[in-house]
Structure 1
């Protein structure tokens, strides 16, 4: 099965859009959003530093630091340089440069401390090219989670509930909320990593950096 038809692979263009919550077929490549630009940058830098592997039209690139690899990958190195130094990119290039699901999820959780892209979260499967919600058939899934993942899941769920009750609260206020401190184990995150993980659960006002309320006592 070619990578473009394999649900375990996504192109940089597709995955960055999913991460940023945008539609890949509705983007003007000449005017991308700051969220999309950040998602692309994170993936490109992770590939460049060999934290995750990448495949160009099915062929893996940047395998090692040998002279032979340098010759074969020179064209790709130029593409990466244009992005990293000048923020210039080719949509066609990014839409043919693929990364692997398990590598990206592991990198998000253990290296970048970011929430994985929604299309590859644990409670979704791919059927005929579409991500759909599914009941987990493994009734022992919670027991199989690591202690850290349990804390992350509980903290994010509690954050979602707090924002539902009071959407005016900022990321910092949710992170330091008395209920969160008592029941949510926020210490599993730094403040910066909490904001990255909690982005999809936050209220619109929190995402926009809206006016903050006075600190709660």
Structure 2
């Protein structure tokens, strides 16, 4: 998976340790060092403010401030709150939250004005007359893909993402139940699909229960 390329991506847990020179295997999450705590908080705050993007192994999170994103990311909002406000550092969660090299470097140069972490530092000394962004070739992510979508496609994308979340919360729901779910009706756009079309488009995200026509597995006696 592309996230495994440590030259381009690292988890918050990995990068914070690299940045502070701490040993990942020796960190006690109950008695975490002040320097490491500040670094993790700094990265999470940048994600919340959308200064750098956040990714899990499944998808990008916290992409915008819309209601649909808030609902899809309820779990992540809770985990961020626990860390930023209550200083609860969940190693397993932070080690599944990825940041991208070029975004972190640009953020260091133009937002927080700090040297980047050693693993992503420039290989040549920076000129005093040139900024970090001018010295390095930084590739931007294509942020215009969403604007290129038609209104109909945007509604379909939102509906499918919401369907995926609803199945993750309760897998014992049929296609029709998901399509007519109150949350789907309020925040999604189920009317853009006919029942058959919804089943076809949502099949990739559907639970086994839905794919088998709503029939529960028979228990072995």
Tell me the TM-score range normalised by the shorter chain. 0.5 to 0.7
Cα separation, 1, equivalents of 2:3 and 2:74: 22
Deviations 1:117-175 (A, max 9, x none): 0110111xxxxxxxxxxxx7xxxx97xx682349xx9xxxxxxxxxxxxxxxxxxxxxx
Q: Offset of 1:19 from its aligned partner?
A: 1.0
SS of alignment partner, residue 99 of structure 2: strand
Q: Is the Cα contact below 8 Å between 1:13 and 1:94 reproduced in 2?
A: yes
Q: Is the Cα contact below 8 Å between 1:19 and 1:117 reproduced in 2?
A: yes
Cα separation, 1, equivalents of 2:89 and 2:128: 39
Q: Is the Cα contact below 8 Å between 1:54 and 1:60 reproduced in 2?
A: yes
SS of alignment partner, residue 84 of structure 1: helix
Q: Within the alignment, does 1:73 sit opposite 2:68 as a pair?
A: no
The equivalent of 2:187 in structure 1 is none
Q: When the two structures are superposed, what TM-score results if normalisation uses the length of structure 2?
A: 0.56
The equivalent of 1:108 in structure 2 is 108
Q: Offset of 1:70 from its aligned partner?
A: 1.0
Deviations 1:43-69 (A, max 9, x none): 011011000001011410011122211
Q: Offset of 1:32 from its aligned partner?
A: 1.0
SS of alignment partner, residue 73 of structure 2: helix
Match runs of 1:178-197 below 5 Å: none
Q: Which runs of 4+ in 1 moved over 6 A?
A: none
Match runs of 1:31-110 below 5 Å: 31-110=31-110
Q: Offset of 1:23 from its aligned partner?
A: 1.3
Q: Is the Cα contact below 8 Å between 1:2 and 1:58 reproduced in 2?
A: no
For structure 1, the 5+ residue unaligned runs are: 124-135, 154-217
The equivalent of 2:130 in structure 1 is 148
Cα separation, 2, equivalents of 1:59 and 1:14: 19
Deviations 1:67-124 (A, max 9, x none): 211111110000111112111121000000000000001001110011100110111x
* 1:58–1:105 distance in 2 versus 1, CA, 3 Å: farther
Q: When the two structures are superposed, what TM-score results if normalisation uses the length of structure 1?
A: 0.57
For structure 2, the 5+ residue unaligned runs are: 136-221
Q: Is the Cα contact below 8 Å between 2:54 and 2:97 reproduced in 1?
A: yes
Number of residues of Structure 1 aligned to a counterpart in Structure 2: 133
> Whose strand fraction is larger, Structure 1's or Structure 2's?
1
Cα separation, 2, equivalents of 1:58 and 1:15: 19
Match runs of 1:11-22 below 5 Å: 11-22=11-22
* 1:146–1:103 distance in 2 versus 1, CA, 3 Å: farther
Q: Offset of 1:6 from its aligned partner?
A: 4.3
